[in-house]
Amino acid sequence: MLPDLIEIVPPARRTDATIVLPGSKSITNRALILAVLARRPVTLRGALWSEDTQAMVDCLERLGFRIGVETDPAEPANRTIMVRGHGGKIPKAGTPGQPIELFVENAGTAARFLTALLCLGQGSYRVSGIPRMHERPQAALVNALRELGYRIDTPNDRLPAVVHGTGPRPGATCTVSVEESSQFASALLLCARIGGWEIGITGANEDELPYVDMTRRLVSEFPWEGGVYEVEADASGASYFWGADWLLRDGGGRVTVTPVPKSGMQADQKFLDLVGRQAWRPTYSRQTDLADSIMTAIVLAPFAPAATHFTDLGRLRVQECERVKALRTELTKCGARVEESGDTLTIHPGLLSGAEIETYNDHRIAMCFGMLGLRVPGIRLRKPACVRKTFPNFFAKLAEIGAVIRDASVGAPLSGDALLAEQEHERRGVKP
């Protein structure tokens, strides 16, 4: 397991590497919800196996769904997951006095998608997570579910919350705001077919909701009568290695990513064209250009030819950590000139130096600065195992590029299982 403090040593020589990507977390957790709603068994191939998806599987099993998991010989961070759906029924339920307890870690997708799913049950369920998940927004979803006619008990419209399921409500209507998160709309859309709900979306233009479009497409294409669904490789995870290729090409190194996400379902697929292939742009928007991968571009920006403006970053403030502040703080530690104005960061080009980076228990902060360590000597990461949330073998992939990952407390290089972000409560029963 990864130690609490690691150092990334850049590759000592020109490196050509091919990185195999794990599956998309966003697609995997959506597909798991659809699979338990399907009428017949569904097999998910290439599904990501990480803290977020494991939290979802654990919760679904507590609800009585039968789920089998097998390793994937093509990628250690993936699994083949077999799900026996119940056509919209939830096998188990608690009572108002003793609800079934569901713990979602810090997985926003699990917290939001399960809250909507539980309304289709016949009983009471308590959803909770780590303290940061209890700070993250949930009110827009709670209000929409109440508008549909369901009872959600929570003193502050956040988690922990008790959901009292009463089954489908054909013809029920609601509107949901996506100003804080598009996951609220996705949660409702995943369950609307079974629930009989009609959903209106407010707070953004339709062309600004790529994750909602992903959800609609999944609902349309999913094998509701049983079958196999192939989970696409993760475009957000790909951005770190497309970024690595961008960082290393001046020295002649090249990093190839496979399989390349091509469906258009993931907004971060655009990173390859907007950053990796085209000339660097003076402005990138979190709303219209890039999704989570805008963080990758922000960390690359000190190597750009001119100052870069990153706009519409408000949603980054209410995710795994206050990401705008975290990016500004940690890049400044490395010597970058960073200006924050409203929800815009401006990054100026300049030389960087190594620093000890606080990851804030945020997988994307850890991966962004891990990527930076391929070019900047002396990058040290605190609590790097937070990458288990979506990419548990991320540092093993960095080592494939030629980086040396050291235990910073003793200076010893890490290899093999020591590079993996071990799950804190590894699920039993996974077939080897």
Q: What is the pLDDT of residues 311-330, one digit of tens each?
A: 999 999 999 999 999 999 99
Q: Which domain holds residue 115?
A: 25-224
Give the percent of the chain with pLDDT over 90: 92
Is the bond preceding residue 282 a cis peptide, omega within 30 degrees?
no
Is the pLDDT assigned to residue 405 strictly greater than 80? Answer: yes
Q: Tell whether 385 and 406 lie within a shared domain.
A: yes
Chain centroid to CA 273: how far? Answer: 21
Across the range 413-419, mean pLDDT stands at 97
Q: What is the mean pLDDT of the chain?
A: 95
Q: Within a domain: residue 426?
A: no
Burial 217-252 (b: 16+ CB within 10 A, else e): ebbeebbbeeeebebbbbbbbbbbbbbbbbbbeeee
What is the Cα–Cα distance from 169 to 172, expressed in whole angstroms?
6
* pLDDT at residue number 205: 59
Question: Do the domain assignments include residue 431?
Answer: no
Whichever domain contains 97, its CATH number is 3.65.10.10
Does pLDDT of 426 surpass 60?
Answer: no
**Exposed (0-12), middle (13-18) or buried (19+): which is 193, by Cβ within 10 Å?**
middle
Give yes or no: residues 409 and 308 share one domain.
yes
Taking Cα atoms as reference points, which of 249, 243, 305 lies closest to residue 272? 243
Q: Is 64 left (phi over 0), alpha (psi -120 to 50) or beta?
A: left
Residue 243 reports pLDDT greater than 80: yes
Q: Is pLDDT of 121 > 60?
A: yes
Is the pLDDT reported for residue 127 higher than 50? Answer: yes
Looking at the structure, do residues 312 and 335 belong to the same domain, yes or no? yes
- The structure's pTM equals 0.95
Looking at the fold, whether 323 and 264 belong to one and the same domain comes out as yes
The answer to whether 115 and 141 are in contact (CB under 8 A) is yes
What is the model's pLDDT at position 432? Answer: 27
Same domain flag for 220 and 254:
no
Has residue 367 been placed in a domain?
yes
Mean pLDDT of 353-358: 98
Domain membership flag for residue 186: yes
Domain boundary among 195, 224, 253: 224
Mean pLDDT across 116-123: 98
Question: How many domains is the chain partitioned into structurally?
Answer: 2
Residues 260, 235: Cα–Cα separation, whole Å = 8
User: Which band of pLDDT confidence, cut at 50, 70 and 90, is reported for residue 423?
Assistant: low
52 classed as catalytic: no
Q: Does one domain contain both 259 and 110?
A: no
Yes or no: say if 212 and 176 are a contact pair by the CB < 8 Å rule: no
280 with 399, same domain: the answer is yes
Residue 269: the pLDDT is: 96
Q: For residue 226, what are its two tokens?
A: 């049983």
- Given pLDDT bands bounded at 50, 70 and 90, which one contains residue 430? very low
Of the chain, the percentage scoring pLDDT greater than 70 comes to 97
Q: How confident is the model at residue 14 (pLDDT cuts 50, 70, 90)?
A: confident
Which of 176, 204, 224 represents a domain boundary (last residue)? Answer: 224
pLDDT of 401 higher than 80:
yes
Mean pLDDT calculated for residue range 273-277? 90
Same domain, 168 and 304: no
Q: Which amino acid is at 335?
A: G
Candidate list 292, 312, 343, 417, residue with the active-site label: 292
pLDDT at 219 over 50: yes
Give the span between the Cα atoms of 366 and 330, in whole angstroms: 11
pLDDT at 428 over 50: no
Report the pLDDT value the prediction gives residue 251, as an integer from 0 to 100: 86
Residues 184 and 292 in one domain: no
Is pLDDT at 350 greater than 70 in this prediction? yes
Burial of 361 by CB count in 10 Å (0-12 exposed, 13-18 middle, 19+ buried)? Answer: middle
One domain for residues 125 and 248: no
Q: pLDDT value at position 278?
A: 86
332 and 199 together in one domain = no
pLDDT by residue (tens digit) across 157-202?
999 999 999 999 999 999 999 989 999 999 999 999 999 999 999 9
Q: Give how far Cα 373 sits from Cα of 19, 357, 405, Å.
A: 17, 11, 10
Q: Please say which residue of 224, 244, 274 terminates a domain.
A: 224
Asked if pLDDT for residue 425 goes beyond 90, the answer is no
Mean pLDDT of 191-214: 87
The string of pLDDT tens digits covering residues 360-373 is 999 999 999 999 99
Q: Is the pLDDT of residue 429 over 70?
A: no
pLDDT of residue 128: 98
Angstrom distance (rounded) from CA 148 to CA 145: 5
Residue from 41, 281, 329 nearest 294 by CA: 281
Same domain, 99 and 246: no
Give 15's pLDDT tier (boundaries 50, 70, 90): confident
